[in-house]
Amino acid sequence: MIRINKNKRKFFFVTFLFLFMISGCGSSNDEAASSSDPEAIRESQISELENSDLIGNVDAYAAIQGVIAEGPAPAAAKVFIIENDESVEEGAGEKYVYSPLYLDFPAELQAKTDAEMNVLVKLRSYYMQTATYSNDGKAYTRYVQITILDRAAGTIIHQETLIGSAPFSIGEKESSGYGYVADYQVLDTILAFFGYAEK
């Protein structure tokens, strides 16, 4: 009887160890999976950004101006990107927010704090009417102005405007059509300035 009890205890102990090891491996596998999951990585980046002082200073960054003095990016550039908030109604004044393109920047270029940020990229997007359709509908083209500022020097070291595609065709009952500038075009243009060739 005693031998049976000992065997039972040994069996339960071994089973417990086995289950513990499996659960431990499972959690590490879950962590590894989440660390390679693009959505999880982006959520982590957004959380880190929202906890930094960069977000709180967006209004101050929007007010930064500079004298145009085209030149290279400073050594060891640490960049933050803001863009005008297009949801703000016309006539209410421009409002800026951080640009999601910042999250697509190489990690070595991303500023993590206000003190670290030495290059500011300001994006200003807008539409202009560029044509009229046969049904008198209006055709609009998108423009994205890119302004890159050397924060320490107080100068605009690069500025250019990307012009969108030709407005798309519209149906007879539609009143307007739009041409666009893709986000990847804006990102590639900015990265090219910092010496990152298009892939």
**pLDDT exceeds cutoff 70 at 7:** no
Residue-wise pLDDT tens digits, 105-136: 999 999 999 999 999 999 999 999 888 888 88
pLDDT interval class at 173 (50, 70, 90):
confident
Residue 122, CA distances (Å) to 63, 77, 94 in order: 10, 15, 12
What is the pLDDT, as a whole number, of residue 60? 95
The answer to whether the beta carbons of residues 155 and 111 sit under 8 Å apart is no
Q: What is the pTM of this model?
A: 0.75
| Token reading at 172 | 């007879």
DSSP state of 110: B
Average of per-residue pLDDT values in the chain: 83
Residue-wise pLDDT tens digits, 134-152: 888 889 999 999 999 999 9
Bridge pairing between strands 176-179 and 138-150: parallel
What is the pLDDT, as a whole number, of residue 103? 94
Residue in 182, 178, 181, 180 with CA at minimum distance from that of residue 139: 178
Average pLDDT over residues 79-102: 86
pLDDT interval class at 162 (50, 70, 90):
very high
Residue-wise pLDDT tens digits, 46-78: 888 888 899 999 999 999 999 999 999 998 999
